């Protein structure tokens, strides 16, 4: 059984609902360090919980720290089956912290520029394993007396979150209820899995957190070369989906983000910028996040055109940012998360 709540309900049969709430609150509380210390439970229950339910789903293998101390990357191992994942903690522009969580071990999407894509896919993470990446970093900040709260969570680590729909949805619900992190401070990033994107529009249980679509090109052929999950007609299908999304969420703050890794000589020309701007203009309410290429080996190289690319898009009236390169010295930057299966 992989869900702590299910284990709790088995151990404490017919527990009143407030006990389940206390159980989950304890996991997110700063007060407790293990089940033994959860003083709101009777002693024998504390002992039974401590014996049977893991307080933390991961064991730390390494923590890498960027020289600037603004990014940390952890290699975590599951005591259950020995799989490893990486998760990243980054200081954001307001001096708070953003946690980047992995949702799968490896990834089946095989985006050609991404180190994780070279690992292949091992398995989905369970809700508790996703949530515990956040809990791991929260404890880390406290243990190291590092200032600043975790205010944002991004699902941009290993894996395609929407390919692990139910567990990701449960983790979102848990973050919203127990981590006190609001809807607009959580972002789920996807390659654009349209069946899942359509599903979430009709899913009353899907929390309306921010969504980011890894676009990487508004040119069909280029996108297909970069992302094997793309296909002829993808951009039009995405366009139709986005229109439905905006109908459902008409508020201004419900914009969509397009992630765009800028690859020298591949998708960084004026023509690519024009196609991207046109696509974004047709949709409206789109923001573009340009990601300067982080070397992960392979045949790509960084672009000298990132600023010019941004400037062109901006002139077309579209909000466009360049993501700050963080953690490149510890391979913790976007597209660099990879775990040797033997680590």
**Closer to ligand SF4 by Cβ: residue 26 or 338:** 338
- Nearest 5°: phi and psi at 269? -85, 170
# of chain residues touching ligand SF4 (CB under 6 A): 11
Place of tokens 């007609």: 233
Among 26, 57, 158, 162, binds ligand SF4 (CB under 6 A): 158
Please select the residue that binds ligand SF4; options are 71, 116, 257, 310, rule is CB under 6 A. 116
**Least distance from C-beta 127 to ligand SF4, angstroms?**
19
Nearer residue to ligand SF4 within complex by CB, 85 or 107: 107
Structure tokens at 210: 């921010």
Stretch that binds ligand SF4, among 81-89, 112-120, 246-254, 325-333 (CB under 6 A): 112-120
We find the least distance from the C-beta atom of residue 143 to ligand SF4, in angstroms, to be 29
CB of 260 vs ligand SF4, minimal distance in Å: 12
Distant-in-sequence, close-in-space partners of 275: CB < 8 Å, separation ≥ 6: 217, 218, 219
Instruction: Pick the piece of the chain touching ligand SF4 (CB under 6 A) from 19-27, 152-160, 247-255, 312-320.
Output: 152-160
Nearest-approach distance from CB 159 to ligand SF4, in angstroms: 6
Asked if 116 contacts 158 with a C-beta cutoff of 8 angstroms, the reply is yes
Q: Of 215, 213, 227, whose CA–CA distance to 117 is shortest? A: 227
Q: What six digits make up the tokens of 310?
A: 């941004």
160 sits near ligand SF4 (criterion: CB under 6 A) = yes
* Residue closer to ligand SF4 (CB basis): 300 or 312: 300
DSSP 266-326: TS-SHHHHHHHHHHHHHH-SEEEEEEE----STT--B-S-HHHHHHHHHHTT-EEEEPPP-
Active site residues: 86, 334
Using rule CB under 6 A, residue 159 touches ligand SF4 = yes
Q: Which member of 107, 242, 262, 280 binds ligand SF4 (CB under 6 A)?
A: 107
Which range in 4-12, 102-110, 164-172, 282-290 contacts ligand SF4 by CB under 6 A?
102-110
| Alpha carbon 268 to chain centroid, angstroms | 25
Q: Is residue 114 part of the contact set for ligand SF4 (CB under 6 A)?
A: yes
Site string for ligand SF4, 189-208 (x = CB under 6 A): --x-----------------
Q: Mind spelling out the 3-state secondary structure of 234-259?
A: HHHHHHHHHHHHHHHCCCCCCCEEEE
Do 204 and 254 meet the contact criterion of CB atoms below 8 Å apart?
no
Give the shortest CB-158-to-ligand SF4 separation in angstroms.
6
Number of H helices, E strands in the chain: 10, 12
DSSP state of 169: H
Helix axes 127-143, 165-178, angle to 10 degrees: 40
Pairing of strands 319-322, 104-106: unpaired
Q: Which stretch binds ligand SF4 (CB under 6 A): 80-88, 103-111, 176-184, 237-245?
A: 103-111
Q: Where on the chain is the footprint of ligand SF4 (CB under 6 A)?
A: 107, 109-111, 114, 116-117, 158-160, 191
């Amino acid at each position: 059984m992989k869900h702590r709540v299910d284990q709790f309900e088995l151990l404490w049969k017919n527990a009143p609902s407030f006990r389940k709430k206390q159980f989950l609150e304890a996991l997110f509380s700063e007060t407790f360090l293990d089940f033994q210390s959860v003083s709101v439970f009777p002693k024998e229950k504390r002992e039974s919980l401590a014996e049977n339910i893991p307080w933390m789903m991961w064991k730390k293998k390494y923590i890498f720290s960027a020289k600037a101390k603004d990014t940390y990357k952890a290699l975590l191992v599951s005591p259950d089956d020995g799989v490893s994942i990486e998760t990243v903690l980054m200081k954001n522009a307001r001096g708070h912290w953003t946690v980047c969580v992995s949702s799968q071990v490896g990834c089946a999407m095989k985006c050609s520029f991404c180190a994780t894509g070279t690992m292949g896919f091992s398995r989905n993470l369970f809700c508790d394993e996703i949530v515990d990446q956040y809990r791991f970093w929260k404890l880390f900040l406290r243990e190291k007396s590092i200032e600043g709260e975790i205010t944002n969570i991004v699902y941009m680590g290993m894996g395609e979150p929407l390919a692990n729909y139910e567990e990701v949805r449960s983790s979102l619900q848990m973050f919203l209820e127990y981590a006190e992190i609001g809807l607009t401070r959580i972002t789920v990033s996807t390659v654009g899995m349209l069946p899942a994107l359509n599903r979430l529009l009709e899913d009353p249980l899907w929390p309306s957190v921010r969504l980011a679509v890894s676009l990487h090109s508004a040119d069909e052929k280029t996108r297909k070369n970069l992302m094997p999950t793309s296909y002829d007609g993808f951009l039009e299908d995405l366009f139709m989906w986005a229109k439905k999304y905006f109908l459902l969420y008409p508020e201004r703050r419900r914009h969509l983000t397009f992630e765009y890794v800028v690859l020298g000589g591949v998708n960084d020309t004026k023509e690519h910028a024009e196609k991207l701007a046109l696509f974004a203009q047709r949709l409206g309410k789109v923001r573009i996040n340009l990601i300067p290429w982080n070397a992960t080996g392979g045949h790509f190289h960084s672009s000298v055109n990132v600023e010019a690319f941004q400037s062109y898009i901006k002139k077309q009236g579209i909000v466009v940012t360049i993501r700050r390169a963080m953690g490149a010295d510890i391979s913790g930057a976007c597209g660099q998360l990879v775990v040797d299966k033997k680590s």
